[in-house]
Amino acid sequence: MDHAADAHRTDLMTITRFVLNEQSKYPESRGDFTILLSHIVLGCKFVCSAVNKAGLAKLIGLAGETNIQGEEQKKLDVLSNDVFVKALVSSGRTSVLVSEEDEEATFVEPSKRGKYCVVFDPLDGSSNIDCGVSIGTIFGIYTLDHTDEPTTEDVLKPGNEMVAAGYCMYGSSCMLVLSTGTGVHGFTLDPSLGEFILTHPDIKIPNKGNIYSVNEGNAQNWDGPTTKYVEKCKFPKDGSPAKSLRYVGSMVADVHRTLLYGGIFLYPADKKSPNGKLRVLYEVFPMSFLMEQAGGQAFTGKKRALDLVPEKIHERSPIFLGSYDDVEEIKALYAEE
Ligand code: FDP
C-alpha cells in the first residue's frame, strides 16, 4: 500500500458506499442488507469507542460490581451485547438473533421483523479485556427463507448457507473485515471521520505460512494428529524452517493475523473438551466463511467446517483454519488415523 498517497486520498470508499456498489449489481435488491449492515457498523463503532475508554469509564471488571458513585457497572461484554441486540432489532431487518451472551435466541417482535437472522459474539476474547489486548466482535448472517413464525431452526443451518460474515477487531486500529460471498474486504475506522474506509480490498491469504497459533498449554490432552502436526511445525523433517508460534488468545486477533500473514490457527479437541472450545455458529462459521473466501480452508478434524450442521445454538467444534496448504497437512494427518 502507498501510505503517502493514501494520506492524500480524496476518493474515499466507505463501507456503506462499498455495499451500495455491490447492491447495485443485483437489480432486485431493495437495500435491506445495506440497512442491516449499517446497524452492525453502528454497534461496532459504539463498542470500539467503549473499548477505547474502558479503563477511563470504569467499564472493566465484573458485571454486578458497583463503582465509586454507587452506580452499577456494566461489564464491557454485557454492554456490547445490549448495544448489538438493540441495533439489530431496530434495523427492522432481523427476525432471529443468537448471541454468545444470551442463553436463548431472541425472536424479534412481528412489527420489527425482517428477512435476516444474525448470529454473533458481541465481544470475543473476554479474558483479554482487562489488560487492553485486542478483542473483537464476530458475526454471521443467514436469510430467513419462509414467512412462518421464526424458530431456532432458522439458524441451525450449515455455515455454507450464510450470506455474509465478518468481524471487527478493536486493536491498535479498529478494523472491520467483511465477506458477502464475493471475496474478503477490510475497512479501517478513520476516527476523525467516524467512517470505515476500504483499506484492504480483496484480501487473499498466502497459500502457506510460517506461523502456527494454538494454546500449547493444552498439549498434554491433544489427540494424535494435533500432537503430530504441532511437532511438525516445531521440528520439520523435510528441511523447511520451523514455524513461529503466535497466540494472542483472542480469536479475532489470531485469525486476523492468520488471514493477513498466512499460517494456521487451531483450537483442537482435547481430552477435557472433546468438542473443542469455540462455538460453531458465531466463531467457527464466520471465521471459516472468511477463510474460504480468502482462498484458505477450515477443517474440524472430520470435515469441512462450513458443512457442519449445528443441533444447538451454542454448540462447539474443534477448528483448524488458515492457509490452504497448511490445512491440507492437518487433513492428511487426520486421514491417516
Ligand atoms: P475468551 O475465552 O477470552 O473469550 O471463545 C473465546 C476465546 O476467548 C477466543 O476468543 C479465544 O481464541 C479462545 O477463547 C482462547 O481460549 P484459551 O484461553 O483456552 O486459549
Quick: pLDDT tens for 253-291.
999 999 999 999 999 999 989 999 999 999 999 999 999
Round the average pLDDT of the chain to a whole number and report it. 92
220 lines ligand 1 (CB under 6 A): no
251 lines ligand 1 (CB under 6 A): yes
276 contacts 319 by C-beta, under 8 angstroms: yes
pTM of the full predicted structure?
A: 0.93
**pLDDT confidence of residue 269:** 96
CB atoms within 10 A of CB 5: 8
Give residue 28's pLDDT band: very low, low, confident or very high (50, 70, 90): confident
Distances (CA, A) of 113 to 82, 83, 94, 148: 18, 18, 5, 12
The alpha carbon of 68 and the centre of ligand 1 are apart by a number of angstroms equal to 30
| Mean pLDDT, range 300-316, rounded to an integer | 98
**pLDDT confidence of residue 58:** 67
3-state SS of 243-274 is CEECCCCCHHHHHHHHHHHCCEEEECCECCCC
Mutate to test the pocket of ligand 1, among 130, 251, 282 (most ligand atoms within 8 A of CB): 251
120 contacts 69 by C-beta, under 8 angstroms: no
Please list, residue by residue across 199-238, b when 16 or more beta carbons sit within 10 angstroms of its beta carbon and e when fewer do. Answer: beeebebbebbbbbbbeeebeeebbebbebbbebbeeeee
| Confidence check: pLDDT of 109 > 60 | yes
CB atoms within 10 A of CB 328: 13
Quick one: what percent of the chain has pLDDT higher than 90? 81
Q: pLDDT tens digits for 46-67?
A: 999 998 887 666 666 666 655 4
288 contacts 299 by C-beta, under 8 angstroms: no
Mutate to test the pocket of ligand 1, among 121, 135, 250, 272 (most ligand atoms within 8 A of CB): 250
Distance CA 306, CA 274 (A): 19
**pLDDT confidence of residue 72:** 47
| Mean pLDDT, range 300-319, rounded to an integer | 98
**pLDDT confidence of residue 5:** 54
133 contacts 253 by C-beta, under 8 angstroms: yes
Q: pLDDT tens digits for 176-205?
A: 999 999 999 999 999 999 999 999 999 999
| Mean pLDDT, range 162-171, rounded to an integer | 97
Distance CA 124, CA 138 (A): 7
| Confidence check: pLDDT of 124 > 50 | yes
The alpha carbon of 152 and the centre of ligand 1 are apart by a number of angstroms equal to 25
